[in-house]
Amino acid sequence: MNTSQNADFSAGRTVPGFAKAIMFLQMLVILLLSSWIVEEYLNNIYLQAYVNDVVQADGSIIAILV
């Protein structure tokens, strides 16, 4: 097997520190917003009704896309 064809992503490719910091901040924002929407769904009957209506109306399309 030719070693030049092997995918060695660690050789010479590093992620800069500022990029790691940005990715970490993005992860925190995503987690914060995800937990917020879950809490909002659990405590808001109107959001629950809306989500249930959307899933019932577009459930087959959602199933196909997922």
Give residue 27's identity as a one-letter amino acid code.
M
**How many whole angstroms separate alpha carbon 28 and alpha carbon 34?**
10
Residue 7 domain-assigned (yes or no): no
Total structural domains within the chain: 1
Sign of the torsion angle spanned by Cα atoms 38, 62, 51, 33: positive
Residue 5 domain-assigned (yes or no): no
What digits encode the pLDDT tens for the residues 39-63? 999 999 999 999 999 888 887 777 7
Residue 20 domain-assigned (yes or no): yes
Residue 4 domain-assigned (yes or no): no
For residue 36, give its domain range: 16-65
**How many whole angstroms separate alpha carbon 15 and alpha carbon 62?**
36
What digits encode the pLDDT tens for the residues 2-45? 555 555 566 668 999 999 999 999 999 999 999 999 999 999 99
